[in-house]
Amino acid sequence: MHDIFNCRNAFKMMLHIPAVLSKAQVAELRQQLDRSEHWMNGQLSAGSQAQKIKKNLQLDSSSVLYQQISPIILQALKSHHLITSAALPKHILPPLFNCYQDSGTYGNHVDNAIHYSPLLGQAIRTDVSLTLFLSEIDEYEGGELVVEDQYGCHEVKLDAGDVIVYPSTSLHRVEPVTQGKRIAAVTWIQSMIREDAKRSMLFDLDMTIIKLRQQIGDTEEVLQLTHHYHNLIRQWGDL
Ligand code: NI
C-alpha cells in the first residue's frame, strides 16, 4: 500500500484500496474490453464545458458487453468492506468504462454534482468519486489521475484491480497518455454521510475498532466504541 495515496485528515480522504478485482477477473474483463467495437467518443457524455478538455473513449452503455460487465463490477464495489467503510454508500452508480490513448486526457475539472441513475430512475448526488484501474502501470506512459486539495497535488497510478476513492468536490484531471492504453472503470457514490470530514472520521473510527477487536477482542469498551460508531451514523446519516 502506498502511503502517498492515503491522505487522510479531518477534512479530506483519498483512499487506495488494493485488489478489489483479482488479476484473473481483470484479465477476463480486459480480453472483452480490448476486442470490443463499442468504444465511443467520451465527449458525447460530457457537458459543454467538459467537452473542451475531455479526450477519451467510453464504452457504449447500450452495448451488450456493457450490460454484462457493469453489474458485475458494481457488485464487486458494493460488496467490498473498505469501500463500504470509506464511502458509506447510499447509492453507487453503475460504473462507466473509459480508455485513454493517443494523448487522451481529461483536463482539470470537478465532477458534476448530480448524476442520473438508470437503475434508480432518479438523480443522485455525487459525494465520492471512484476509479478502478484496469491497465497495469507498465502498459502506458502518463495517465496519472491528479487530485488537488488544500495540501497539494496527489498523483495516482495504481495496479490493475486497485481502486482509489476521493471526494467528488476535489479538482482533478487525467494526464495525457503518451504511450499505450489506460483503461479504467469510474463511478460515483452518494454517501449516507454528505460531509467529507464526518465520513473521514467515521472511517478512522471504524478502522480503529477493527484493530482493537483483533488486539484485545470484544471487550466492554470495544463494544461501547461500536455503539458510538452506530450512534454517530444515526446522528449524521441522511438516509
Ligand atoms: Ni472527473
For the segment 121-159, what is each residue's pLDDT rounded down to a tens digit? 999 999 999 999 999 999 999 999 999 987 789 999 999
Per-residue pLDDT at 183: 98
Among candidates 132, 106, 93, 89, which has minimal Cα distance to 42?
Answer: 106
Cα(64) to centroid of ligand 1, in Å?
25
Cα(170) to centroid of ligand 1, in Å?
9
Cα(15) to centroid of ligand 1, in Å?
16
On the question of pLDDT at 4 being above 50, the answer is: no
Cα(223) to centroid of ligand 1, in Å?
39
Cα(146) to centroid of ligand 1, in Å?
10
* pTM assigned to the model: 0.93
Spatial distance between the Cα atoms of 131 and 48, rounded to a whole number of angstroms: 23
Cα(20) to centroid of ligand 1, in Å?
20
- Rounded to the nearest 5 percent, the helix, strand and coil shares of the chain are 35, 30, 30
Cα(121) to centroid of ligand 1, in Å?
22
State residue 227 phi and psi, 5-degree precision: -60, -40
Residue pLDDT, tens place only, 163-200 = 999 999 999 999 999 999 999 999 999 999 999 999 99
Cα(147) to centroid of ligand 1, in Å?
10
Per-residue pLDDT at 6: 54
66-78: average pLDDT: 98
Cα(186) to centroid of ligand 1, in Å?
9
- Tell me the H-state helices in 19-167: 23-34, 48-51, 64-78, 81-87
What is the signed CA dihedral for 218, 220, 222, 227, rounded to 10 degrees? 120
On the question of pLDDT at 11 being above 60, the answer is: no
Spatial distance between the Cα atoms of 145 and 164, rounded to a whole number of angstroms: 10
Among candidates 57, 96, 58, which has minimal Cα distance to 77?
Answer: 96
